[in-house]
Each structure stands twice: as structure tokens, then as C-alpha cells.
Amino acid sequence: MKAVSATQRHAAVPPWRDIRVLRIVGQVVVVGVVLLVGYLLWENLTGNMTRARLTFSLDFMRATAGFDISQTVIPYSTRDTYGHAFLAGLLNTLMVSAVGIVLATVLGFVTGVARLSSNWLVNRLAAGYVEIMRNTPLLVQLVLIFALLLQLPAVANSITLPGPIYLNQRGLFLPRPLAEPTFTAWVVLVVIGVVVAIVSRRISVRRREAGLPTRAIGRIGLLAMLAIPIGGWIVLSPLQFDLPVQQRFNFVGGVVLSPSFAALLFGLVIYTAAFIGEVVRGGIQAVRRGQLEAAYAIGLTPGQTLRLIVLPQALRIIVPPLTSQYLNLTKNSSLAIAVGYSDVFAVSRTMANQTGQSVAVILLVMGTYLTLSLATSLAMNVYNRRVQVLER
Amino acid sequence: MARPAIYPVVLVVLALMLAACEAETPTASPGAGESPPLVADTPPPVGDTPPPVGETPPPVGDTPPPVGDTPPPVAPGGSILAEVQSRGRLICGVNGGQPGFSFLQEGTTDWSGFDVDYCRAVSAALFGDPEAVEFRPLTTDDRGPALQTREIDVLIRNTTWTVTRDAQWGLFAPTTFYDGQGMMVRSEVGATSLEELGGATVCMQSGTTTELNLADAMNVAGHEGNYETQIFDNIDETYNTYETGACDAVTSDRSQLTARRTLMANPADHVLLDIVMSKEPLGPAVPFGDERWFNIVKWTVLVTIEAEEYGITQANVTEMRDTSEDPVVQRLLGADPEQQQGTLLGLRNDWVVDVISAVGNYGEMFERHVGPNSALGLDRGLNRLWTDGGLIYAAPYR
């Protein structure tokens, strides 16, 4: 009986007043609108492209590129395809972003901690750095850094450092290590050294817990870790060096850190590190004062307090905005062309220009940056889940 | 660019969405908006179909009529000629950073140069006024898309005519300047050919035929892969980097190298190698889709050449029109009422008089901006009239 009356009461509510029906209708309408707008934009694009007599195609990716890319991670020549050129540009972007993220994180954490330092000079310096970097455009900084690097001496008057390392306006030329056949053997020795060190550490921890002396064991571990690889190095000489040699126009050989790459990397790092510094400062200041007082009360040093008490708690506040800064750094690397570095965007612009496929290439570049950003976010979300406090 | 039909549709859709949202929360704000009759004490009989949400009249006040009633939009693509005429001024894509071709005179707002004068010539042809031009400086990378999207009416930006660009960017009018790719090095290097440039670093601009030609030329010279490139999107950055010494050489069209050398701190320190790596026919280009517009730009170029061939100059053009007995000159200057070539093109019959009195003939423009007596000091070379053994040739005006 009760069930019947319930259905009767339900039937009495007309569908246009039934909140469940209305919710579904509302959602259907919203999805419909999104699809319609998307369809209209697509129609507009294809209509306009037809009118401009443009076709939409990525077939050119298999054609020969014919243009040069200044520095590449993978071998590239003008006889390679557009697809290969795009890949070379992408790897350049990945390289500058990856190195940039690591360096910006280190510098950012140092800055964030320095801003909270009780040393007046240190915290004023950090504040000045953050405010200058945050409040000037990155493009201006890049162009300025590049212009400064070009003021280094010409090739003929290079600054020579021990190594030999040469510094001039064409870049920093370092010896390139070349692996000898004995290199693998030496790596094995290093692994052995590390294993011995880990084992001795374990033993020493166990002995300490048992209240036994640990000094000798600790020394053995340290000795093994240092002596085995060093001895192996002397005996096996696993590396040779390809030294840069000055030729008619430039140094040849070795590893080159070009001014373009250096300007882009340096600019991205100091710019992003200023933001990361603020993120870190915010995270640390969000840790309650009582935590610090308790840490000092049990006799932890400031360093230990930072490492063991503050950072683990601050990290869960720091990580999400830190992810945004990593994404910013990667996307800002598309300013590379301003300093003559061939990143994926610079290469794509040339591709679009040579082939006339602007829309296709721009969509491809957007897809590429989207993929990079989502991948970074994913990795950072996994890390974020690890540093979050487990709610019970 | 966007089709006007879209906006009413989007508005109607938004209106529907608004109506739907209001209907969703009938209790939140009683009596608000144009919700269908939902007053609690008068429930419609069960089973009676209520007006579907979708049919609610849009609550937006002055919504344009629904899609069906919208008049059909202007013919797709439209006429560039009609657009320029109704706008009353020409939008001309130029380089902006190249003395002699298109350059903003220091300390003034006056554009000057060979390409700039061709923009003015087109403006004079259309309006009888050489100053009805809006100059739009474009980078090498931006010029193609600017043509494709019709951001500009005509591109006169020392642009090389190639088959890909003809197929992808727009239609190329006759070449106004026959050029070739060259290479500039510091004189202290002492190089005279590409063979001596193995291992060198070369500065250049992105989005140019230059990038492609250098690779070919260096391969032929036996230096495949044995050179570095430094590529910028900005013309000033390109030449400044070369000038600081970070590049051993800079490559571009010979006319551009010559022009930029005049801007360097010490022009005598830089030498243009006596080589030509490629053919670079530079000329105006117009967007696809309006052949009449293309004709006007094409014939503006051709009449300046024709005028030089027949000795019509800026100084004597009106006199020639009034006194010349030569039927060719009479036709060209619209002095013969029986001949209506100007009207056929969609212009005034004496439009050539306006063009020549505004900018002069081809030879005068060349002399004024790039010739031996100008700062660039370029020889006419291939750009002599066909009658003097050059390549400058105009189809007959008849």
C-alpha cells in the first residue's frame, strides 16, 4: 500500500517540475551546446580554409625538410624529413625544459628558504631577486641575457680555463667524455662499491640499535665506496676526452653550451625560480608555529627542523602550485626563437612557413604542448599523492 | 572573417540554455525570468504535455532574428577590391626593417623605399591618392598567414616568388626586383667563396627561402653538415648577432645584405661575397579569391615598366598625356577616348597618370631608393629593361 501511494505521489509531480528530469535535461542541453559550438567553430575553420583555398593535411611530414636546425640532441641533416625535424625540435624543448625544471627547483627552494632567513642581508637579497624577476617580462630578460652573452670575447680571444675549457661569444666549450671499452667494467666496480656501502650501513644501523660500536663498520663502507671506483679508474682508465680544438672559425669537438641555449636556460631558470621561491615560502609559512617551537623544544637544530619537520608538512602545500610553475617553464620555453634556439615551436614556425600548412602545424604544436603539460601534471600528481597526509 | 550567421545561432543557443537553467531551479527565485507557468497552486492536468523547455521564447531582448530569417551572408570570400574601396585605404604588408625597400625614416613617421612606393602606386591607382595606405610591417614568418587570412590586401615585402607560395599563399604579380641570395662576411675573414666557409657559423632569418638555399649551396660547396646556423625570427636580431661577431657570416638576398650593411657601425668592415646562390624574384602578392584585384596589382607593376620604356616620367607625365602623338602613350595615359583599358580593369581611364605622377616610372623608383646614387648603390643588373638586356618586361597595354 505504502509503495502504491509513493508512486502516486511521484506521478503527481509533472516532469517539468521533477528535479531529476530537469537535471538530466539541463545536462543534455549543456552537452548539446558544447557540441554545437564546437561544430560551428569547426565549420567556420573548414569553411574559411576552403574559401582561402587551403587544404588541411599533415602529409608533408614525410617530405624532405631542407632547412637547418642549429643544435640538435639527435642527428639531423637538411635531407631528413619534416617529421624528423619536428622530433629534433621537440627533443630540444624537452632538454631545455627538463634541465630548467631541475635547476629552477633547486634555486627556487634556496630562494624560498632564504626569504625566511633571519639574516637580514640574505632575506633582503632574496626578496630583491624575487621582486625583480617576477615583475619584468621573461622575453625582455631573455633578450638581455643573450645580448650580454654576445659581449663575451670573440673566438680568437677566448677565455681559457683549466680542462681545457674555452669560453667565448660562441659558447662554452667543454671536453667531451668518450667511453672506452673498459667503461662497463668500471661501472660494475662502482656498483660493487655502492653495494658494499649499503650493506655496511645496514650492519652499522643494526649494531647501533643493539648498542654496539659502529665507527669501524662505517669507515669500511665509506672506504669501499670511494676506493673501489677510484682504484678502478686508475687501473682501467675508462674514459677518454674529446677536447675542443680551435680551427679557422670556431672550436671544433668537445661539448658546446651555446649562448642561445644558455640564455634560454638561464632566463627560464631565474624567472621560474623566483615564482617557485614564493611558492616555497608560502608553503613553509603555512606550517603552524607550534610545530617549529616543538621541534626546537626537543633540541633539533634549525637544519634538522627544516628537513624533518617543516619541509614534509610544507611539501603538501607546495607541490600543486609547483606543478603549475613546471608547466609554465615548459610552455615559456617556446620563446626560444627570440634568442635563436631551435625548440619545437621555432621549428614548427619554419615548417608552417615552408609548407603553408599553418593551421595543421599550429594544431600539432598545441597538441604537443598539451601532451607535455598533461604528462608533467600526471607525474606531479602521483608525487603529490605520496606527500599528502594520509587522512584517517 | 567569421561568418555572421554564427552569432545569432550562438545567441539563440545561449538563450535556450538560460531558459533551461532557470527552469531547473524553479524554487530558487519564484517568479523570476520567463519560466513556463510553474506556479504551485495551478498544476496542469496530469498527462497534459507541457511546452517543452526548448520552445521557450528566448528571454534576451534584442536577439537578432532566428537563423532561417537571416539574409544570406555576403558571397563567400567577398571581393577584395570592393572591400578596399569601401574602406577607402589600402592595407599593404611590408618589411619595415630594410632601408631602400621599406623603412621608417629615422625620427619621422614617413615610410620610404622601393616596396613602399609600389604600395603607394596601388593606392594611387585605386583612389588617385598615393597616401591612402596603411603600412603593416610583417616578419618573414607572419607574411604567409597574413596573406592567407586576408589580414592585408597586398604583400609587397621583398618576397620571393616560388611555386609553393603561389599554391599556398596567394597570387604573385610580376617581379619588381630580380635578386639572388648572397653571403656577407667580415672582411678580416678574407673569404671569397663558399668553399672557404667550412666550419663557419651563419646567421639568417626563419621562414625564408634563404634557409633552404643555404643548405643546398653548402652541400654543393662540399660542406654538407660542416657549418652551424643561427636562426632568428627578427631581422634586427639576425644582423645584430652577426655584427657582434657571434656569426662569421650572414646570408640573405643580396639587396637585403647591401641594405643592412648601410646600417652597420662600420660598413667597410663587411664584404659581400661575389656569389649568387639562388634565383630570388621579388614581387607583390595578393590573396586568393579576387582575380580583378589581382589584375589591378599586376597592371600597376606593369604600367610603371611600360612608362619607363616609353620615357614617361613623374615630371613629364601630364605633358605627355596632353601632347604625345604616340598611340601607345595615348592609350597608356588614357588620352584616347576611344580606348577604355582603365575602365576594363575597373579603374579610371587615366589611372596611369595618377600612378606615374605619384611615384614615377620603374627606373625612377629604382634610382630613387636602391640605384647607384642611393645609399644602397645597387647596379640595375638584371633589373634593366628588356630593351637594355635586362629582365624587366611589361605585357602590352592594349
B116-134 pLDDT per residue, tens = 999 999 999 999 999 999 9
What mean pLDDT is predicted for residues B46-69? 43
CATH number of the domain bearing residue B186: 3.40.190.10
What mean pLDDT is predicted for residues A211-229? 78
Residue A170 shares a structural domain with residue A196: no
Residue B169 shares a structural domain with residue B238: no
| Nearest CA among A303, A311, A305 for reference residue A280 | A311
The domain in which residue B129 lies consists of 80-177+282-388
Residue A205 shares a structural domain with residue A297: no
What mean pLDDT is predicted for residues B165-179? 93
Helices and strands counted in chain A (H then E): 13, 8
Copy the grid coordinates of residue B224: 654538407
* pLDDT, tens digit, 9 for 90 and up, residues A34-46: 999 999 999 998 8
Residue A273 shares a structural domain with residue A137: yes
Residue A360 shares a structural domain with residue A218: no
- pLDDT greater than 80 at residue B165: yes
Q: Given an 8 Å threshold on Cβ–Cβ distance, is B246 in contact with A259?
A: yes
Whether A347 is covered by a domain: the verdict is yes
Position A220 scores a pLDDT of 77
A–B interface: beta-carbon pairs under 8 A: 165
In chain B, which ranges are continuous DSSP H helix? 6-24, 80-87, 114-127, 140-148, 163-168, 209-220, 235-244, 254-261, 291-309, 317-323, 327-332, 341-345, 351-359, 362-369
- pLDDT greater than 80 at residue B71: no
Residue B323 shares a structural domain with residue B259: no
Residue A189 shares a structural domain with residue A253: no
Q: Which of residues 184-203 of B touch A (CB under 8 A)?
A: 189, 197-201
Mode of pairing for the β-strands spanning B280-282 and A245-246: unpaired
Whether B265 is covered by a domain: the verdict is yes
Residue B286 shares a structural domain with residue B250: no
What mean pLDDT is predicted for residues A212-233? 79
| Nearest residue, CB atoms, A349 vs list B14, B207, B215 | B207
Considering B263, B278, B293, which residue would you say is the last residue of a domain?
B278
Tell me what percent of the residues of chain A surpass a pLDDT of 70.
Answer: 96
Residue B158 shares a structural domain with residue B298: yes
Position B61 scores a pLDDT of 42
Residue B159 shares a structural domain with residue B199: no
- pLDDT greater than 70 at residue B14: no
* pLDDT, tens digit, 9 for 90 and up, residues A226-272: 888 888 888 887 788 888 888 888 888 888 889 999 999 999 999 99
Chain B partners of A12 at a C-beta cutoff of 8 Å? 43, 46
How far apart, in whole angstroms, are the C-alpha atoms of residue B170 and residue B78?
15
In B186-290, which ranges are continuous DSSP H helix? 209-220, 235-244, 254-261
The domain in which residue A190 lies consists of 179-242
Whether A63 is covered by a domain: the verdict is no
Q: Given an 8 Å threshold on Cβ–Cβ distance, is A354 in contact with B244?
A: no
Nearest CA in chain B to A260: B230
Whether B75 is covered by a domain: the verdict is no
Copy the grid coordinates of residue B231: 636562426
Whether A53 is covered by a domain: the verdict is no
Interface test with chain B among A9, A16, A264, by most B beta carbons within 10 Å: A16
Position A352 scores a pLDDT of 86
Whether A221 is covered by a domain: the verdict is yes
What mean pLDDT is predicted for residues A8-21? 76
Whether A64 is covered by a domain: the verdict is no
Whether A35 is covered by a domain: the verdict is yes
- pLDDT greater than 90 at residue A205: no
Whether B94 is covered by a domain: the verdict is yes
Q: Given an 8 Å threshold on Cβ–Cβ distance, is B199 in contact with A342?
A: no
Residue A136 shares a structural domain with residue A201: no
Residue B294 shares a structural domain with residue B307: yes
Position A59 scores a pLDDT of 87
Whether B164 is covered by a domain: the verdict is yes
| Nearest CA among A81, A69, A60 for reference residue A364 | A60
Position A369 scores a pLDDT of 96
The DSSP call for residue B228 is E
- Which band of pLDDT confidence, cut at 50, 70 and 90, is reported for residue B42? very low
Q: Which of residues 203-222 of B touch A (CB under 8 A)?
A: 206-207, 211-212, 214-216, 219
Residue B162 shares a structural domain with residue B287: yes
* pLDDT, tens digit, 9 for 90 and up, residues A325-367: 999 999 999 999 899 899 999 999 888 888 878 888 999 999 9
Position A6 scores a pLDDT of 52
Copy the grid coordinates of residue A213: 660500536
Considering B68, B97, B116, which residue would you say is the last residue of a domain?
B68
- pLDDT greater than 90 at residue B39: no
| Nearest residue, CB atoms, A250 vs list B201, B206, B287 | B201
Residue A357 shares a structural domain with residue A295: yes
Question: Among the listed ranges A324-333, B61-70, B157-166, which one has the minimum average pLDDT value?
Answer: B61-70
Residue A187 shares a structural domain with residue A216: yes
- The answer, for B277 touching chain A at a CB cutoff of 8 Å, is no
Q: Which of residues 298-357 of B touch A (CB under 8 A)?
A: none
**Predicted TM-score of the model (pTM):** 0.74
Residue B168 shares a structural domain with residue B261: no
What mean pLDDT is predicted for residues A2-16? 63
Whether A55 is covered by a domain: the verdict is no
Residue B123 shares a structural domain with residue B221: no
Residue B110 shares a structural domain with residue B198: no
Considering B68, B90, B115, which residue would you say is the last residue of a domain?
B68
Position B60 scores a pLDDT of 43
Residue B54 shares a structural domain with residue B87: no
* pLDDT, tens digit, 9 for 90 and up, residues A131-183: 999 999 999 999 999 999 999 998 888 888 887 889 988 888 888 888 878 88
* pLDDT, tens digit, 9 for 90 and up, residues B313-356: 999 999 999 999 999 999 999 998 888 899 999 999 999 999 99
Mean pLDDT of chain B: 83
Position A49 scores a pLDDT of 79
The residue assigned the cell 637580514 is: A120
Residue A305 shares a structural domain with residue A336: yes
Higher-pLDDT residue of B154, B339: B154
How far apart, in whole angstroms, are the C-alpha atoms of residue B284 and residue B159?
7
Residue A195 shares a structural domain with residue A325: no
Total tally of structural domains belonging to chain B: 3
Total tally of structural domains belonging to chain A: 3
What mean pLDDT is predicted for residues B84-92? 95
Position A11 scores a pLDDT of 62
Whether A257 is covered by a domain: the verdict is yes
What mean pLDDT is predicted for residues B169-175? 94
Residue A127 shares a structural domain with residue A36: no
- Phi and psi angles of residue B228, each rounded to the nearest 5 degrees, phi first: -110, 150
CATH number of the domain bearing residue A92: 1.10.3720.10
- The interface predicted TM-score (ipTM) is 0.74
Residue A152 shares a structural domain with residue A235: no
- pLDDT greater than 60 at residue A7: no
Q: Which of residues 92-131 of B touch A (CB under 8 A)?
A: none
Question: Among the listed ranges A103-117, B9-23, B359-373, which one has the minimum average pLDDT value?
Answer: B9-23
Residue B382 shares a structural domain with residue B286: yes
How long, in residues, is chain A?
392
How far apart, in whole angstroms, are the C-alpha atoms of residue A55 and residue B107?
44
